[in-house]
């Protein structure tokens, strides 16, 4: 015997009821589609160099949700899919963390002093700066093998990939320079002078300017990546370390280790618009995908400061692990 409830004729006996059913169906479908298309929650992955861990922070709730044990003295961090990559400066390797399981699923030995690290958008390659061997190792993430080594300046630190230009930028701390490498040919295109001891790097997505943060000269070198030449030098705070720009490219945020602060500059006028107090010895810095919050890892007090990009105020302080460094792009 057929059930009447399966007969389309019996779904709606009056226009009002039919409209109500149709509306409910549309609403239900809309909610399902919204749930399916909602972007995954971004997380901040913070290397804690003094306790050999990575703290995982949910950037929507601004809560630490996990602590992952990695190699010895983790420093650099790079995010991709499906892995997070961590350089371990004293166990001389790179840890592969699975984003879903939050477990280390691979370890690749690399060089004598891995520090800076960067991953391409597809997650197929990572680049690791070797502080003591003065080169960059290229690792195939599928095979977890080194496929290329590129000679650069002395004591390479920060690395940054510009996918639009197929460039890899390398801050050579003890050469006071930045190397620019073609990521397709692995050729060093040029080496440009900077201030004293460049460490962190940032690129402006709007005009493609590169910012090299010079630790010892307390300034930032601005490089035109179209012309491959130095444009300007910007004074910031004491012992600056890393930088990030706002998504619209209008603001530059620079961590100042010895000032316990972040300098915020207008990238067009090149004027300081704010100096924001953070935790002790701020180092790594990154911005959330929605562009609303900047996260700062504070080495000295084992925390992360969250800065509201609109108000330029610290809105939250999150406990992490010992010696929080987060050197690299760490939010995804």
Peptide bond into 82 cis (omega under 30): yes
268, two tokens: 């067009």
- Tens place of pLDDT per residue across the chain (332 aa): 333 232 322 223 233 333 343 334 433 434 333 444 445 789 999 999 999 999 999 999 999 999 999 999 999 999 999 999 999 999 999 999 999 999 999 999 999 999 999 999 999 999 999 999 999 999 999 999 999 999 999 999 999 999 999 999 999 999 999 999 999 999 999 999 999 999 999 999 999 999 999 999 999 999 999 999 999 999 999 999 999 999 999 999 999 999 999 999 999 999 999 999 999 999 999 999 999 999 999 999 999 999 999 999 999 999 999 999 999 999 99
Give a yes or no: residue 84 inside a domain.
Answer: yes
For the chain, the domain total comes to: 1
Show the domain range for 290: 42-319
Give a yes or no: residue 86 inside a domain.
Answer: yes
CATH code, 174: 2.130.10.10
Q: How far is residue 211's CA from residue 242's CA, in Å, rounded to a whole number?
A: 9
Give a yes or no: residue 15 inside a domain.
Answer: no
Position 10 scores a pLDDT of: 28
Q: What is the DSSP string of 27-88?
A: HHHHHHHHHHHSPPPPEEEEEETTTTEEEEEETTTTEEEEEEE-SSSEEEEEE-SSEEEEEE
Contact 106, 95 (CB under 8 A): yes
Name the residue among 186, 168, 200 with its Cα closest to residue 76: 200
Give a yes or no: residue 148 inside a domain.
Answer: yes
Q: Is the pTM higher than 0.85? A: yes
Q: Which residues contact 287 (CB under 8 A, 6 or more apart)?
A: 244, 245, 246, 247, 253, 293, 294, 295, 309, 331
Give a yes or no: residue 34 inside a domain.
Answer: no
Give a yes or no: residue 169 inside a domain.
Answer: yes
Position 25 scores a pLDDT of: 41
Q: How far is residue 67's CA from residue 329's CA, in Å, rounded to a whole number?
A: 18
Position 21 scores a pLDDT of: 33
Q: How far is residue 235's CA from residue 263's CA, in Å, rounded to a whole number?
A: 10
* Average pLDDT over the chain, rounded to an integer: 90
Report in angstroms the alpha-carbon separations of 313 from 117, 219, 281, 308: 29, 23, 18, 5
Position 24 scores a pLDDT of: 40
Position 12 scores a pLDDT of: 33
Give a yes or no: residue 182 inside a domain.
Answer: yes
> pLDDT digit string (tens) for 257-272?
999 999 999 999 999 9
> pLDDT digit string (tens) for 62-112?
999 999 999 999 999 999 999 999 999 999 999 999 999 999 999 999 999
Position 39 scores a pLDDT of: 59
Report in angstroms the alpha-carbon separations of 102 from 54, 73, 98: 10, 19, 5
Give a yes or no: residue 25 inside a domain.
Answer: no
């Amino acid at each position: 015997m057929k059930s009447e409830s399966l007969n389309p004729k019996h779904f709606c006996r009056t226009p009002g009821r039919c409209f109500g059913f149709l509306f409910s169906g549309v609403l239900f479908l809309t909610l399902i589609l919204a749930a399916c298309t909602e972007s995954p929650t971004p997380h901040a992955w913070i290397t804690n160099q003094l306790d050999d861990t990575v703290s995982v922070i949910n950037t929507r709730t601004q809560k630490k949700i996990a602590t992952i044990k990695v190699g010895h003295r983790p420093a650099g961090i790079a995010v991709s899919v499906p892995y997070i990559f961590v350089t371990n400066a004293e166990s001389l390797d790179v840890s592969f963390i699975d984003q879903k399981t939050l477990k280390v699923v691979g370890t690749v030995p690399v060089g004598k002093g891995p520090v800076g690290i960067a991953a391409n958008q597809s997650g197929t390659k990572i680049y690791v700066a070797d502080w003591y061997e003065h080169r960059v190792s290229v690792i195939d993430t599928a095979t977890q093998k080194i496929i290329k080594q590129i000679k650069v300046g002395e004591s390479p630190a920060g690395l940054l990939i510009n996918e639009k230009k197929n460039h890899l930028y390398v801050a050579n701390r003890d050469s006071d320079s930045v190397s620019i490498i073609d990521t397709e040919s692995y050729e060093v295109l040029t080496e440009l002078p900077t201030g004293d001891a460049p460490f962190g790097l940032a690129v402006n997505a709007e005009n493609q300017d590169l910012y090299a943060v010079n630790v010892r000269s307390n300034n930032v070198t601005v490089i035109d990546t179209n012309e491959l030449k130095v444009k300007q030098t910007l004074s910031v705070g004491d012992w600056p370390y890393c930088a990030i720009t706002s998504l619209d490219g209008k603001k530059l945020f620079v961590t100042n280790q010895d000032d316990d602060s972040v300098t915020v500059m207008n990238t067009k006028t090149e004027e300081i618009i704010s100096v924001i107090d953070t935790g002790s010895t701020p180092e790594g810095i990154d911005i959330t995908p929605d562009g609303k919050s900047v996260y700062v890892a504070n080495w000295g007090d084992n925390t992360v400061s969250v800065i509201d990009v609109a108000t330029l105020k610290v809105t939250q302080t999150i406990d992490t692990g010992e010696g929080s460094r987060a050197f690299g792009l760490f939010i995804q």
